């Protein structure tokens, strides 16, 4: 039986995992390889899955818990993709607030399913603007201590640390950050990349495909602290129908992101990642996508619609350090205000808002 590659990219919320995965998929497809993407979240209705479909990448979504807590679902998702697409390479994106993935996913895959998968080294992405704050190298709002515990644990288990978004930061700051990462996380090799512009992406892919995961040790994790950190992040996944007369979907998304941003900031809830897609109803291959990765960043459109809309579907995924009710109020009130501002009728779709539950891995390899 030919083995498939299992390539998992971690990193905190908004670091650029999906952007990187879709770049990888493009490069692999151009090489004649088949790709299957596995997305993951605490709830369903994922913006990332929509973006993958939009890019014509075969995708399976695991909702209702992170990979480590849903290891059997991960295996099942891989089987589904094998039946439909027979991927040569599985690209797996874990939830951005998840850690301990080497002990609970990479090592069990190698040890239990080693006849089916070659597991690539675990690479973890970071957003430099976020990292500079977390490491105290720049002033600015960050997260409560238990959330930072997760952030640091993600980097502690990385075999490769990838400073993404190199295009967004001055070269001297980038260099200082690289030195600081090497000092703090000596076990990892450090790379610089811009998934958006493409620099360093193919180099990283080649490296991850050429090697197998071989961590030096299994990281210790205080699951109580980890669970408390996860519970400090509010989570909201929602959908809505928008109906109007030739409205500008790109402008509506940007205005909505700014409005939610103002409301969350006023409520003291630091945004980890607000992401939204808007597509003409029944046409998932056309969409506008908007992201906001910090409370004081500018929302950005990563995809735009060429034409005005009459009837559209909106997906919103919001993660912020705050109570779920705070997220719900911010998003529903912003939606009502923006719909009125753009003369659009709103019809509410599914809405889930909650705090992630205590992580409880199905499998964990405790020692090498």
Ligand X SMILES: Nc1nc2c(ncn2[C@@H]2O[C@H](COP(=O)(O)OP(=O)(O)OP(=O)(O)O)[C@@H](O)[C@H]2O)c(=O)[nH]1
Residues 72-101 interacting with Mg ion (rule: CB under 5 A) = none
Q: From the CB of 124, what's the least distance to Mg ion, in Å?
A: 13
218: nearest Cα among 161, 130, 159, 279: 159
**Interface characters, 153-192, with ligand X (x: CB under 6 A):** -----------xx-xx------------------------
Exposure string of 118-135, with b = 16+ CB inside 10 Å and e = fewer, is bbbbbbbbbbbbbbbbbb
Does 96 participate in binding ligand X (rule CB under 6 A)? yes
Q: What number of other Cβ atoms are within 10 A of residue 261's Cβ?
A: 22
Choose the one of Mg ion, ligand X, none that binds residue 273, judging by a C-beta under 5 to 8 angstroms depending on kind. Answer: ligand X
**Residue 201 within binding range of ligand X, rule CB under 6 A:** no
The number of residues that bind ligand X (CB under 6 A) is 23
Nearer residue to ligand X within complex by CB, 187 or 302: 302
Which is closer to Mg ion, CB of 110 or CB of 151?
Answer: 151
**Rounded CA separation 82/151 (Å):** 33
**How many degrees, rounded to 5, is the angle at CA 232 between CA 47 and CA 295?**
60
Max CA separation in the chain (angstroms):
61
Q: Does 294 bind ligand X (CB under 6 A)?
A: no
Out of 4, 5, 6, 18, which residue is the one contacting ligand X (CB under 6 A)?
18
Examine residue 17 and tell whether it contacts Mg ion (CB under 5 A). yes
By CB under 5 A, residue 48 contacts Mg ion: yes
Q: Which helix (H) or strand (E) holds 24?
A: helix 17-30
291 sits near ligand X (criterion: CB under 6 A)? yes
Point out the residue whose Cβ comes nearest to Mg ion.
Answer: 18
By the rule CB under 6 A, 99 interacts with ligand X:
no
Per-residue x/- mask for ligand X, residues 270 to 289, rule CB under 6 A? ---x-x--------------
Q: Does 194 bind Mg ion (CB under 5 A)?
A: no
Contact call for residue 18 and Mg ion (CB under 5 A): yes
Q: 124 CB contacts (<8 Å, ≥6 apart)?
A: 9, 10, 11, 154, 155, 157, 158, 160, 161, 162, 188
Tell me the C-alpha distance between 211 and 121, whole Å: 7
Residue 195 binds which entry of Mg ion, ligand X, none, CB below 5-8 Å type-dependent: ligand X
Which of 8, 13, 155, 208 touches ligand X by CB under 6 A?
A: 13
Size of the site for Mg ion (CB under 5 A): 3
CB contact burial 345-358 (16+ within 10 A = b; e otherwise): ebeeeebbbeebee
Q: Based on the shown chain and the rule CB under 6 A, indicate whether residue 356 belongs to the binding site for ligand X.
A: no
Q: Is residue 198 a contact partner of residue 79, using CB atoms and an 8 Å limit?
A: no
Least Å distance between CB 66 and Mg ion? 13
Q: Give the contacts of 266 (CB within 8 A, at least 6 positions apart).
A: none
Q: Which of 70, 133, 146, 196 binds ligand X (CB under 6 A)?
A: 196
Residue 193 and residue 204 in contact, taking contact as beta carbons nearer than 8 Å: yes
**HSE-CB for 155 with a 13 A CA cutoff:** 25
**Contact positions vs ligand X (CB under 6 A):** 11, 13-19, 48, 96, 164-165, 167-168, 194-196, 273, 275, 291, 293, 300, 302
């Amino acid at each position: 039986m030919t083995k498939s590659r299992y390539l998992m990219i971690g990193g905190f919320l908004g670091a650029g995992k999906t952007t990187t995965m879709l770049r990888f998929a493009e490069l692999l497809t151009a090489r004649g390889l088949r790709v299957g993407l596995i997305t993951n979240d605490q709830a369903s209705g994922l913006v990332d899955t929509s973006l993958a479909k939009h890019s014509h990448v075969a995708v399976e979504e695991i909702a209702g818990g992170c990979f480590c807590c849903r290891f059997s679902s991960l295996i099942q998702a891989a089987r589904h993709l094998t039946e439909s697409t027979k991927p040569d390479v599985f690209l797996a994106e874990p939830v951005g607030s998840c850690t301990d993935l080497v002990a609970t996913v990479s090592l069990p895959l190698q040890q239990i399913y080693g006849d089916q998968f070659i597991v690539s080294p675990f690479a973890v992405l970071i957003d430099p603007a976020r990292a500079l704050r977390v490491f105290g190298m720049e002033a600015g709002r960050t997260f409560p201590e238990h959330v930072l515990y997760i952030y640091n644990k993600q980097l502690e288990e990385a075999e490769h640390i990838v400073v993404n978004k190199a295009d967004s930061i001055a070269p001297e700051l980038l260099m200082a950050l690289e030195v600081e990462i090497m000092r703090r996380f000596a076990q990892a090799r450090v790379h610089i990349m811009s998934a958006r512009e493409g620099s360093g992406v193919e180099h990283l892919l080649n490296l991850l495909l050429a090697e197998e995961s071989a961590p030096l040790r299994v990281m210790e994790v205080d699951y109580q602290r980890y669970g408390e950190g996860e519970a400090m992040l509010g989570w909201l996944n929602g959908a809505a129908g928008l109906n109007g007369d030739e409205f500008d979907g790109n402008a509506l998304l940007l205005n909505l992101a700014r409005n939610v941003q103002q409301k969350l900031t006023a409520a003291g809830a630091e945004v980890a990642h607000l992401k939204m897609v808007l597509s003409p109803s029944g046409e998932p291959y056309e969409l506008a996508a908007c992201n906001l990765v910090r409370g004081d960043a500018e929302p950005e459109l990563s995809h735009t619609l060429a034409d005005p809309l009459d009837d559209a579907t909106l997906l919103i995924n919001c993660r912020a350090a705050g109570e779920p009710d705070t997220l719900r109020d911010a998003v529903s009130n912003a939606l009502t205000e923006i719909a009125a501002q753009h003369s659009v009728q709103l019809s509410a779709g599914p809405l889930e808002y909650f705090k992630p539950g205590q992580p409880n891995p199905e499998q964990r390899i405790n020692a090498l």
